[in-house]
Structure formats: C-alpha cells, structure tokens
Structure 1
C-alpha cells in the first residue's frame, strides 16, 4: 500500500513540475521589460485573450489571436521573427507559448502577469 502512495505522490509531483516549470526555449519577461520591446518592428506581438477581452482593453501594437484559434492563425505569423505573447494573467500566454514551440517557432517570449500586470 505504501508503494501506491509513493507512486501517486511521484506522479503528482511530476505533473506539478511539468505544469509550472518554464519550457526551454521560451523566454519570460515582465511588463516593465515589455515596454522596451514594443517599438521594435522586427517583433510580433499577440494577445491570446478572447475578442471581447481584447476589445475592452488591450495594449497598442498587439494583435488579437485567441488561444483557441492559435493553431489555425499561426500561419499568419512569421516563424523567423520573435513572438511576444500576452493574456490576462499569464496562464493562457504560457499555454500559447508552448503551443507555438510545438508549431516550430523558435523565438517566443511570454509576458508574465499579462494585461493585469500591465495596468497595475
């Protein structure tokens, strides 16, 4: 019975590590650091929130690509340019960053804290 408890604990620990540990190849920056990047025309900026969230409040220069449409709309993004990803709090953008990595993007930057941190 103890072995089962250890196995469950190990699986839970593995799940937590996989969920919260940053993915190799994805850079994480703060919203303060983002301010220095926004004027660079060589970079792409996407907001993965819903169209309603984006319409109510967004950062100038960001394009709305909802998370659920990311795979289809990724064809509109250049793989040779760095992609900055933001959402409301950082969870969806982290998921989107991982998806972009799987799709073959190599220069991906996730904005920690999202639009909430930007407004703060």
Structure 2
C-alpha cells in the first residue's frame, strides 16, 4: 500500500521552455502576491478557491515556493483533472514576469 503518491511535477525551467505552446498556468497565490509579479500568461485562482475549479486540459500549478501548488494539485487530481505541480514556485522562476517586482 502506498501512503505517499508522487505528484507529477516539472521545474520552472521546463515550464519556461513550454511557454511558446501556451500551457494553461494557474497561480494559486493570493491576489496581492499575484499582482506583485507573475508569469504573463498565468491565471490567478487562490488556493482557497481551487476546489470549485473545473478544467478539461492539462494545467500547471504554481505558487510562491511550491507548497500551496502541491495542495492544489492534490485537490484537482482527486477530482480527476490533469494537474502538474511547478517545483520551487515563483521563488525559482527566472523567466519574464508581469506586474511588480518579486
């Protein structure tokens, strides 16, 4: 019996390389954190609202450090959605950002 299932994850570098393909990115940080700087194509859905979210395509979940995004991925995958955690979160992001400085 497995107590810990490994969540599908990618690095911020892998996500950055995928940007030309326009992947669906959800940032689960709070709105004030999101406005402080986020990936230009990311959509902000705070963690506390992720349970009501429905999606049919693969989605990449990011937060500040990777902890909230793991929780969001667990929630979405339990509902049968194809969700992938972005390891290291915005703290590891080296690509372009929209909004304030991180």
Q: Partner residue of 1:13?
A: none
The structure with more radius of gyration: 1
Match of 1:62 among 42, 48, 70: 42
Match of 2:8 among 23, 27, 48: 27
- TM-score (structure 1 length as normaliser): 0.71
Compute the displacement of 1:36 (Å). 1.4
Compute the displacement of 1:37 (Å). 1.3
Q: Partner residue of 2:17?
A: 36
Note the residue ranges of structure 1 that are not aligned, 5 or more in a row.
1-16
Q: Greater helix percent: which structure?
A: 1
- TM-score (structure 2 length as normaliser): 0.82
Q: In structure 1, the residue corresponding to 2:65 is in which secondary structure? A: coil
RCO higher in structure (CA 8 A, sep ≥6): 2
Note the residue ranges of structure 2 that are not aligned, 5 or more in a row.
96-102
Q: In structure 1, the residue corresponding to 2:68 is in which secondary structure? A: helix
Q: Partner residue of 2:84?
A: 109
Partner Cα distance (2:19, 2:45) in 1: 17
Count of residue correspondences:
94
- CA RMSD after TM alignment: 2.0
Partner Cα distance (1:93, 1:38) in 2: 19
